Chains A and B, each alone.
Chain A
Amino acid sequence: MRPYHALAVFAVAALLLASLSAPALAGGQLMMATTTSTDDTGLLNYLAPIFQKETGIELKWTATGTGKALELGKNCDVDVVLVHAPGAEKKFVESGAGVNRRQVMYNDFVLLGPADDPAGIKGKTMAQALASLRQHKAIFVSRGDKSGTHMMELGLWKKAGEQVPDKESWYVQAGQGMYKTLILASEKKGYTLCDRGTFFKFEADNQGHPPLVVLLEGEPELLNQYSVIEVNPAACPKAKQDLAKRFSDWLASPHGQKLMADFKVYGKQLFTPNAQ
């Protein structure tokens, strides 16, 4: 076979492949930007097919940090966002980028560390624990990536009246996703903040004996609230707000809420529905 012929065959094949576009769906397609936790836990893989079956709408999503998800919403690249950083979300709505912010579910964060707890934070309040970490120069691994978890951590330092560490030798800014951050913290025998879902997974992967254990949990400020926000059609004329609203309504409906409550990871309920 001569190269020219091969090139021609290659070109025709490429064009054929490109022309086979996905068939349009009757109910339309809804584009969502969301955080990695909703995707990594499998929640969306569980909800999307049910939503499509009941409404005919195909839910497509891109999973990133909350910061980037909101930026995609601001740039009109998605129709709806499902994120977990109330402070940033309020700014998103106030700036006119989003409408109808609706709380749909929550879970919580846990403060993890090595079982021998060198900084002695077990049994302390959040503020005391953070102060103790600084005092002992105990290694703390931060996500450092503007994700919802990272924003939560920054907020915790501020609420505790502590200056947010930055260049301190014991403060490690990973710039990675949650699971990789857990691995980094285990290797360094450090402390870290983690959403409970990812910790369940980490626990199961380590046959129930993870190198990091929960040292602090249940404090009210560790609540991890997820909200759905429709992209504002006034700012983004092409946004499919009708579909976005149907999704939001569906999530907040008793039926959607029950589906969330029924979703289990390793036999444990992961999200608690709380739509009003």
Chain B
Amino acid sequence: MNYILEGLVQAFRLLARGDPETFSALEATVRSSSLAMLASLVLGLPLGFVLGHGRFRGRRLLRTLVDTCLALPTVLIGLVVYSFLSRRGPLGDWGMLFTLPGLAIGQAILALPVVMALTATAVEGLDRRLGLTLLTLGASRRQLALTTLWEARQGLLAAAVNAYGRVVTEVGIAMMVGGNIKWHTRTVTTAIALETGKGEFAQGIALGIILLGLALLVNLGLIRLRRGATP
């Protein structure tokens, strides 16, 4: 029990004195998760729209596959991405193993199915007459897609929030692809794992609280966005 109280006090102490190791880990987390979210949104929103709105053969099967990928274990993603980025792997020349962009690739793979599946669900949930109305009004395909996504914006925000939650808390990919290198790829989650392994439980809890604080900030920002988006 003491660990929790100690952790809470320690969290404030680390932030107040600007502990360089903590801030380095926070920076690594923010950088890799921002890159991963950017990539997964750019790819996942259009793909999710096609998945939810399109009427093509194999759509249901594809939908099932994407839903299955929601259960991808992070350790597995870490191993697969490692085997590609390793010097001995097909993309070894890129030199991206043990770097934040390399880590972001793995996290984007983690986030992509979340963005796709929830975007598809949001688009499916819209009134089907919307598309027909737009077409009768002479909308182009691009206008159709943008308007549909706009109408589904609440669902898309939910997709982003969910994906962000998975990315920022995962530890399997960060350990394997990032390597938990001090001052470089040590994220908040790998730092927690390290402290726990060393038996510094209070420090681990402190870092966990700080990570929750970061998530709170992001979600506070999104609440403002949601207000603006409410019709």
Tell me if chain B binds chain A. Answer: yes
B-binding residues in A (CB < 8 A)? 1-3, 6-7, 10-11, 13-15, 17-18, 22, 31, 36, 39-40, 45, 60-63, 75-77, 177-180, 182-183, 201-202, 205, 236, 238
Q: How far is the CA of A17 from the CA of B100 in the complex (A)?
A: 11
Q: How far is the CA of A2 from the CA of B224 in the complex (A)?
A: 10
B231 touches A (CB below 8 Å): no
A3 in contact with B225 (CB, 8 Å): yes
The winner among A10, A202, A205 for most chain B CB atoms within 10 A is: A10
B184 in contact with A22 (CB, 8 Å): yes
B197 in contact with A2 (CB, 8 Å): no
Give the shortest distance, in Å, between A51 (CB) and chain B (any CB).
Answer: 14
**Within the complex, which residue of B30, B92, B180, B181 is in contact with A76, where a contact is CB–CB below 8 Å?**
B92
Closest chain A residue to B226, Cβ basis? A3
Give the shortest distance, in Å, between B84 (CB) and chain A (any CB).
Answer: 12
B166 touches A (CB below 8 Å): no
B225 in contact with A6 (CB, 8 Å): yes
A75 in contact with B88 (CB, 8 Å): yes
Closest chain A residue to B33, Cβ basis? A14
Q: How far is the CA of A39 from the CA of B179 in the complex (A)?
A: 13
B153 in contact with A36 (CB, 8 Å): no
Q: How far is the CA of A142 from the CA of B41 in the complex (A)?
A: 44
Q: How far is the CA of A139 from the CA of B156 in the complex (A)?
A: 53
Contact with A along B206-231 (1 / 0, CB 8 A): 00000000000000000011001100
Q: How far is the CA of A202 from the CA of B87 in the complex (A)?
A: 38
- Within B98-155, which residues are at the interface with A (CB < 8 Å)? 98, 100-101, 153
Closest chain A residue to B224, Cβ basis? A1
Besides the known contacts A1-B225, A18-B101, A62-B180, 14 further A-B residue pairs in the complex with CB atoms under 8 A apart: A1-B224, A3-B228, A7-B41, A14-B35, A40-B197, A60-B183, A60-B184, A61-B181, A62-B181, A75-B86, A75-B89, A77-B88, A77-B97, A202-B199
B157 touches A (CB below 8 Å): yes
**Within the complex, which residue of B97, B157, B196 is in contact with A3, where a contact is CB–CB below 8 Å?**
B157
Give the shortest distance, in Å, between A74 (CB) and chain B (any CB).
Answer: 8
Q: How far is the CA of A201 from the CA of B195 in the complex (A)?
A: 13
Give the shortest distance, in Å, between A15 (CB) and chain B (any CB).
Answer: 8
Listed from nearest, the 8 A-B pairs whose CB atoms lie closest are A76-B87, A62-B179, A14-B34, A179-B199, A177-B197, A75-B88, A14-B38, A75-B86
Q: How far is the CA of A3 from the CA of B221 in the complex (A)?
A: 11
Q: For residue A183, which residues in chain B have a CB less than 8 angstroms away from its CB?
A: 199
The winner among B30, B179, B199 for most chain A CB atoms within 10 A is: B199
Give the shortest distance, in Å, between B211 (CB) and chain A (any CB).
Answer: 18
Closest chain B residue to A239, Cβ basis? B87
- Within B156-198, which residues are at the interface with A (CB < 8 Å)? 156-157, 179-184, 194, 196-198
Closest chain A residue to B89, Cβ basis? A75
A201 in contact with B198 (CB, 8 Å): yes
21 example contacts (A-B, Cβ-Cβ < 8 A) are as follows: A3-B225, A7-B41, A10-B34, A10-B38, A11-B38, A18-B31, A18-B34, A31-B98, A36-B197, A61-B182, A62-B98, A63-B180, A63-B194, A75-B86, A76-B86, A76-B88, A77-B88, A177-B197, A179-B198, A182-B199, A201-B198
Q: How far is the CA of A61 from the CA of B186 in the complex (A)?
A: 11
Q: For residue A7, which residues in chain B have a CB less than 8 angstroms away from its CB?
A: 41
Q: How far is the CA of A196 from the CA of B183 in the complex (A)?
A: 28
B34 in contact with A180 (CB, 8 Å): no
Q: For residue B181, which residues in chain A have a CB less than 8 angstroms away from its CB?
A: 60-62
B37 touches A (CB below 8 Å): yes
Q: For residue B89, which residues in chain A have a CB less than 8 angstroms away from its CB?
A: 75
A179 in contact with B197 (CB, 8 Å): yes
Q: For residue A202, which residues in chain B have a CB less than 8 angstroms away from its CB?
A: 199
Q: How far is the CA of A236 from the CA of B92 in the complex (A)?
A: 12
Closest chain B residue to A12, Cβ basis? B38
Q: How far is the CA of A201 from the CA of B181 in the complex (A)?
A: 23
**Within the complex, which residue of B87, B97, B182, B228 is in contact with A2, where a contact is CB–CB below 8 Å?**
B228
Give the shortest distance, in Å, between B230 (CB) and chain A (any CB).
Answer: 11
**Within the complex, which residue of A18, A63, A77, A177 is in contact with B87, where a contact is CB–CB below 8 Å?**
A77
Give the shortest distance, in Å, between A176 (CB) and chain B (any CB).
Answer: 8
B179 in contact with A17 (CB, 8 Å): no
Q: How far is the CA of A62 from the CA of B197 in the complex (A)?
A: 14
Q: For residue A180, which residues in chain B have a CB less than 8 angstroms away from its CB?
A: 196-197
B197 in contact with A17 (CB, 8 Å): no
